[in-house]
């Protein structure tokens, strides 16, 4: 009995997801030096099958960036709807942020790649820039609210946002320049919260 179109569509979606998952893992190890052959090997599929879904490595990376940005924007929206005191919300935000950076460093690498690559599609660069600004605005708001409630130290909020952003940038660079140190000595969220909390 032949498969239904619905079953065929499900198989296509699963295959596409498998390719993207493999590409994400390869990108985490090799960065932009990854090849379509690397992706095929990681996904345990034929080289030609990768091309059936994506015309180039850039198409894969752009798709990964789009999905990461969409997921990150949804995460920020969920956080905005979260209840709790300013201190609790800040704890949650920093803890989730650090967990994601530790568990999925390739996503941060990819977003930095999009921001720094003039060959990346303009809409992706703009989207990544807007997301970065939205995150910094949210962090600034959380710091100011935390200062008003007495949960956060009374330092300049812009300087605190800059310090945290610089630390996150440094962790992203560390995944590329010294991955062993990144994995062995990844900082606990409490260290970052110690910069903020009274």
Question: Do the beta carbons of residue 34 and residue 25 sit within 8 Å?
Answer: no
Same domain, 162 and 96: yes
Q: What is the mean pLDDT of the chain?
A: 88
Same domain, 63 and 29: no
Q: How many domains does the chain have?
A: 2
Other CB atoms within 10 Å distance of the CB of residue 152: 23
d(CA 183, CA 162): 24
Same domain, 79 and 105: yes
pLDDT single digits (tens) 96-108: 889 888 888 888 8
Residue ending a domain, among 55, 71, 101, is: 55
Same domain, 104 and 138: yes
Stretch 131-137: mean pLDDT, rounded? 91
Q: What is the CATH number of the domain that holds 96?
A: 1.10.357.10
Same domain, 40 and 70: no
The enclosing H or E element of 181 equals helix 179-184
Residue ending a domain, among 10, 25, 55, is: 55
In this predicted structure, what is the pLDDT of residue 108? 83
| Ordered DSSP codes for 69-104 | HHHHHHHHHHHHT--S-HHHHHHHHHHHHHHHHHH-
Domain that holds residue 37: 1-55
Q: Looking at the predicted structure, is the pLDDT value of residue 2 above 80?
A: no
In this predicted structure, what is the pLDDT of residue 17? 93
d(CA 10, CA 17): 11
Residue with the bigger pLDDT between 152 and 114: it is: 152
Q: What percent of the chain has pLDDT over 90?
A: 38
d(CA 158, CA 150): 17
Same domain, 65 and 49: no
Stretch 81-107: mean pLDDT, rounded? 88
Same domain, 88 and 107: yes
Q: How confident is the model at residue 9 (pLDDT cuts 50, 70, 90)?
A: confident
Residue ending a domain, among 55, 80, 96, is: 55
Using DSSP, state whether 108 is helix, strand or coil. Answer: helix
Q: How confident is the model at residue 120 (pLDDT cuts 50, 70, 90)?
A: confident
Same domain, 147 and 87: yes
CA dist 36 → 27, 39, 111, 159 (Å): 11, 5, 20, 42
pLDDT single digits (tens) 154-178: 999 999 999 999 998 888 888 878 8
**What region, left, alpha or beta, does residue 168 occupy, with left being phi > 0 and alpha being psi -120 to 50 degrees?**
alpha
Q: Looking at the predicted structure, is the pLDDT value of residue 1 above 70?
A: no
Same domain, 114 and 192: yes
d(CA 97, CA 144): 19
Same domain, 91 and 132: yes
What does pTM read for this prediction?
0.81
b (16+ CB within 10 A) / e for 11-25: eeeebeebbbebbbb
Same domain, 51 and 70: no
In this predicted structure, what is the pLDDT of residue 54? 93
Tokens of 123: 């809409």
Q: What is the CATH number of the domain that holds 35?
A: 1.10.10.60
Could you tell me where the beta strands, DSSP code E, fall in the chain?
none
In this predicted structure, what is the pLDDT of residue 25? 86
Same domain, 107 and 144: yes
d(CA 131, CA 124): 10
């Amino acid at each position: 009995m032949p498969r239904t179109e619905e079953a065929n569509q499900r198989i296509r979606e699963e295959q596409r997801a498998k390719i993207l998952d493999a590409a994400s893992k390869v990108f985490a190890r090799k960065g932009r030096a990854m090849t379509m052959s690397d992706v095929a090997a990681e996904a345990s599929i034929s080289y030609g099958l990768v091309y059936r879904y994506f015309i180039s490595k850039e198409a894969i990376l752009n798709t990964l960036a789009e999905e990461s940005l969409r997921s990150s924007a949804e995460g920020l929206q969920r956080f905005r709807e979260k209840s709790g005191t300013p201190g609790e919300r800040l704890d949650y935000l920093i803890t989730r942020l650090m967990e994601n950076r530790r568990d999925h460093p390739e996503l941060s690498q990819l977003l930095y790649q999009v921001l720094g690559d003039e060959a990346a599609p303009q809409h992706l660069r703009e989207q990544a820039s807007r997301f970065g600004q939205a995150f910094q605005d949210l962090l600034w708001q959380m710091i100011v609210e935390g200062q008003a409630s007495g949960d956060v130290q009374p330092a300049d909020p812009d300087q605190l946002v800059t310090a945290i952003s610089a630390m996150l940038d440094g962790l992203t660079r560390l995944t590329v320049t010294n991955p062993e140190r990144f994995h062995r000595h990844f900082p606990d969220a409490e260290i970052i919260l110690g910069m903020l909390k009274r």
